Every structure is written in structure tokens, then in C-alpha cells.
Amino acid sequence: MSMTRRVLLAAAILLLDLAVFFLPLSAIFLAYVVVANPAWFRDFLNHLDADGDGRRLR
């Protein structure tokens, strides 16, 4: 294998690694929550908004 081919292969591996591991999973999750508005997330937010007695925090 020539040196040029080795360098190109190494660069391709690095670019693939950057593309796979740079994927912002938290941004994808937030986009899903905004678009789909799942019931479990609304329940989670309502639970955070109330204290232990069921009263709303202000």
C-alpha cells in the first residue's frame, strides 16, 4: 500500500469518526420534544412545577 493511500485512508477514518461522534444527541432529543410534544415530558414538567403537597410553586 502506498503512502498516499495510507494517508487518505487515515483521513477518511478521522472524518468518519468526527461525523459519528460529533452528532449532538441532546439537540436531536430537544428537537424531538419540541416537535412531538410527548405526554411523558409534559407530565414530567407538571411534576416539577408542583411541590410535594400538590400545590403550585410560585
pLDDT of residue 24: 76
| d(C-alpha 41, C-alpha 5), whole Å | 50
* Segments making up each domain of the chain, as ranges: 24-58
pLDDT of residue 54: 56
- Chunked mean pLDDT (size 10), the chain, 58 residues: 91 86 79 90 87 58
Residues 6+ apart with CB under 8 A from 49: 56, 57
The SS3 call for residue 46 is helix
pLDDT of residue 28: 81
pLDDT of residue 29: 87
pLDDT of residue 58: 53
Task: Give the predicted TM-score (pTM) of the model.
Answer: 0.47
